[in-house]
Amino acid sequence: MRVPLSWLREYVDLPAGATGRDVAERLVRAGLEVETVEQLGGELKGPLVVGEVLSIEELTGFKKPIRHCLVNVGDANGTGEPQEIVCGARNFAVGDKVVVVLPGAVLPGPFPIAARQTYGRTSAGMICSGRELRMSDDHDGIIVLPPEYEPGTDAIELLQLVDEVLDIAVTPDRGYCLSMRGVAREAAAAYGLPLADPALLDVPPANSFGYLVKVNDPTGCDRFVARTVVGVDPNAKSPIWLQRRLQKSGIRPISLTVDITNYVMLEVGQPLHAYDKQRVNGPITVRRAEQGEVLTTLDGVERKLSPEDLLICDSSGPIGLAGVMGGASTEILDPAAGPGTTEVIIEAAHFDPVAIARSAKRHKLPSEASKRFERGVDPEAARAAAQRAVDLLVLIAGGTAEAGVTDIAAPHPVRTITIAADLPDRVAGTAYGRETVTRRLQEVGCSVSGADVLEVTPPTWRPDLTDPYDLAEEVIRLEGYDNVPARMPDVPPGKGLTEAQRINRRIGVALAGTGYVEVNNYPFLGETAWDALGLAADDRRRRTVKLVNPLNDEEPALRTTLLPGLLGALRRNVGRGNTDLAVYETGTVFLPKDELSVAPRPAVDHRPSDAELAELDAALPDQPRRVAVALAGERLPSGWWGKGAQASWADAVQAGRTVARAAGVELTVRAGQLAPWHPGRCAELVVAGTDRVVGHAGELHPRVVKALGLPARTAAMEIDVDLLTADGAERVNGPTVSGFPVATQDVALIVDTAVPAADVESALRTGAGELLEAIRLFDVFTGEQIGEGKKSLAYALRFRAVDRTLTADEATAAREAAVAEAVARTGAVLRGALRVAACPLPVCVLPPVRGRAALPRLGLTVPQPVAYLFTYGSR
């Protein structure tokens, strides 16, 4: 809201020496956000005067039209002689009154003016346009003034070019400050001065002679005032003072009737709309739109209406989108394009804020009117605003106000708030006293009665005052937040982090330690995200929680997986040249419940009860915690040392193991299939010893990679942390460190291709027993040597005891037990045994030593050719 200081002084008798910055400081202390104080005309220096065009000579022979003018500027030039001025504008004629700047003056810029030779003539000054005086952006032609001003009149004062304008950022709860009336009330309270309320007008009561109006939706429109003015001069122009106030407030003057409605809106805060009475067919009706209806608004756009839209209609159909924009069929006619409008219907109504906000958002049609309605407009200001517009039309346009007054009002219950007189004292921690509390509440427009307990009736223009603490805030802000003492609160000792917080931290530290970078994304998404991920139409992840008032219409839903946001961050980084990436995100997803419930509104004067908190939780969607990673490019960089390693599905799987290890849980990995992962390179992450799938990892499907614009072979992982830790918190013990040597044995097993490696590993782990320290799959081999439909899995087994050095027999026994368990559970065949059975050569079984190089040390001489079978595995 732009507030000219000169206009503000009409309603509050501010101190004569108070500058815009002084007023801004007072308003900021009162809780308003004054962003800037603009100095208008600070660089401007006269003489700048009214001139009368005496003659115009058209100069030819130039690339553009040029005119040599003689202009009467009175005695402003010191001689009284006509001033010679060369000008290129063509929107004025002989006899017109214009704005002339004379040599020695300085225009905003700064731009000094001097006499000079141009186009073969002397130009001693300049005829000014609105842009040159910083009045507006209009540079199509110069300013033509009304004929009543005498040549030589000071144009700086006439055009109110020197002023200060406060630019106030009005928060949603202070909608009344989107008017001079509201800001003046705040300024009056800040300075302790009386307010000249512009809405205090004598308004005739409603009668049966007014224009017929029907309100079919009293919920959407609870107040409708209509007044009619006839005999309006269609050629009447807005006076300079009105135009300048609109321009300083950021609104472009259009025509007298439209300018008056805009002026009253800025003055009182009540949006108005003017209809050409001769173009309105029958009674005005307020109703909701019907399916398939359309309306061409004043901007010339035909809009398809929604059944939720609130409309102003006549017998022919919609003539306005209520509270947003009028229709083109009943707009005020420009006399330059026809006969002009002589009979005007003024509408001043109060509409439901939610309905107006949704219509403006739905049609992408924000307007000055909708901005005010959606923040809350005083329903009692409609009568005064309509009367003010009628008075201005009669005064300026020579119209006659008809006696008929239409005023349809739905009953409004009186809102009364009970507040303890010492509540502001207790909230602020200081002593205001009952008299101060009462005085401050009355300054904001409240009616107050009572002693120790006050009965407060908020004013109609403050719909945000609903609770005792709202009233306490009003007292505190008007007394000054800087007067609230600063004291450290008594903070009870904390209990530290919760178990969920500790797990979340351990996961973040573990992933960061392995090279991942954390990112944070917005939880909003749209249907296109699911299509890009290739999710089926019946995929449960497509069932989302929709926002009633989303930040972006294209992303109205809350995420059910972290992958869209995470992959979007990956794509943005790749697009900016970061091709080798490993990112992760932790956060909640939002899963809708089968049964919906409405959350109760708890009181603000005490802590909600356990039952109320349970109701609030029941109304919320399920919000499990998730962690996800995404990788692309090189995991290990290339350099002079050689070629690096490309990130792959295996790294994504390992990230899942890292997360589980940080949470104190052991995972089992098995083949899976779930979009958006590649069906042949997708792993299910399962809690060991259970069949509980907690996540998936692997390489993304090529179609998904292409749709999202990601690098080839991009991999990702996502785990449900709540599901991962569903068995409860357990103490995380560090590994036992043994000082005794390790015994390593390798085993190669041949199994069917369909047998998961995880099943084989599980069997080996179970069979090996407590002596097994670690197991690692280091080779997978397929080929003719082992037969079709078979694969060879080679594992390295590490055995160690915490209290002794293992003997060869103990290690061998543990290995053989592991192999036996794998054979029993998966049908595996020891690769070495298979080779011996099929070998036609003599077989030499060696004692438990490693490698053929040990033969001479054993004193053995073996004929050639021969096959060797080492009890520690085949090398």
pLDDT digits (tens, 9 = 90+) for 327-372: 999 999 887 777 889 999 999 999 999 999 999 999 999 999 999 9
Measure CA 702 to chain center: 32
Q: Pairing between strand 284-288 and 213-215?
A: parallel
Give residue 703's identity as a one-letter amino acid code: R
Q: Pairing between strand 126-127 and 97-101?
A: antiparallel
> What SS3 state is found at 360?
helix
The per-residue pLDDT of the chain, averaged, comes to: 89
In the chain the first and final C-alpha atoms are separated, in Å, by 83
Q: Residue 605's pLDDT is what?
A: 74
Mean pLDDT of 738-746: 90
Mean pLDDT of 458-471: 93
Alpha-carbon distances of 423 from 142, 438, 479, 606, rounded to whole Å: 60, 12, 14, 13
Number of residues that this document lists for the chain: 875
Structure tokens at 790: 């078979």
Q: Residue 731's pLDDT is what?
A: 59
In 10 A of CB 45, how many CB atoms?
A: 15
User: Taking 90 as the threshold, does the pLDDT of residue 786 lie above it?
Assistant: no
Q: Residue 491's pLDDT is what?
A: 79
User: Taking 60 as the threshold, does the pLDDT of residue 851 lie above it?
Assistant: no
Answer whether 347's CB lies under 8 Å from 221's CB: no
Mean pLDDT of 386-412: 94
Mean pLDDT of 577-584: 93
Band (pLDDT 50/70/90 cuts) for residue 663 is very high
User: Taking 70 as the threshold, does the pLDDT of residue 472 lie above it?
Assistant: yes
Residues 31-74 pLDDT 10s? 899 999 999 988 888 899 999 999 999 888 888 889 999 999 99
Q: Is the model more confident about 276 or about 870?
A: 276
Q: Is the model more confident about 360 or about 734?
A: 360
**Residue 644 burial (CB < 10 Å; 0-12/13-18/19+)?**
middle
Q: Residue 627's pLDDT is what?
A: 98
Angle, helices 256-268 vs 240-248, to 10°: value is 50
The CA-CA-CA angle for residues 351, 353, 354, to 5°, reads 120
**H/E element, 57:** strand 48-59
User: Taking 80 as the threshold, does the pLDDT of residue 853 lie above it?
Assistant: no
User: Taking 70 as the threshold, does the pLDDT of residue 857 lie above it?
Assistant: no
Answer whether 718's CB lies under 8 Å from 695's CB: yes
Tokens 């005695």 — which residue? 75
Q: Residue 841's pLDDT is what?
A: 41
Strand partners, 846: 870
Alpha helices in 54-174 (DSSP H): 155-158
Q: Specify the range with the lowest mean pLDDT, choosing from 164-168, 452-456, 595-599, 610-614.
A: 595-599
Q: Specify the range with the lowest mean pLDDT, choosing from 533-537, 740-744, 859-863.
A: 859-863
User: Taking 60 as the threshold, does the pLDDT of residue 874 lie above it?
Assistant: no
822's CB contacts (< 8 A; 6+ apart) are 749, 760, 763, 764, 767, 828
Mean pLDDT of 159-182: 93
d(CA 325, CA 363) in angstroms, rounded, equals: 11
Q: Residue 139's pLDDT is what?
A: 62
Angle, helices 434-443 vs 468-479, to 10°: value is 90
User: Taking 70 as the threshold, does the pLDDT of residue 629 lie above it?
Assistant: yes
User: Taking 70 as the threshold, does the pLDDT of residue 164 lie above it?
Assistant: yes
Band (pLDDT 50/70/90 cuts) for residue 848 is very low
Q: Residue 845's pLDDT is what?
A: 42
Q: Residue 832's pLDDT is what?
A: 63
Answer whether 106's CB lies under 8 Å from 112's CB: yes
Angle, helices 180-191 vs 434-443, to 10°: value is 150
Band (pLDDT 50/70/90 cuts) for residue 725 is very high
Strand partners, 581: 632
> What SS3 state is found at 752?
strand
Band (pLDDT 50/70/90 cuts) for residue 862 is very low
Q: Residue 870's pLDDT is what?
A: 42
Alpha-carbon distances of 69 from 157, 338, 528, 683, rounded to whole Å: 25, 32, 64, 86
DSSP annotation of 842: -
Mean pLDDT of 263-289: 95
Angle, helices 180-191 vs 256-268, to 10°: value is 30
Q: Residue 297's pLDDT is what?
A: 94
Q: Residue 477's pLDDT is what?
A: 92
Answer whether 729's CB lies under 8 Å from 793's CB: no
User: Taking 80 as the threshold, does the pLDDT of residue 608 lie above it?
Assistant: yes
d(CA 778, CA 690) in angstroms, rounded, equals: 26
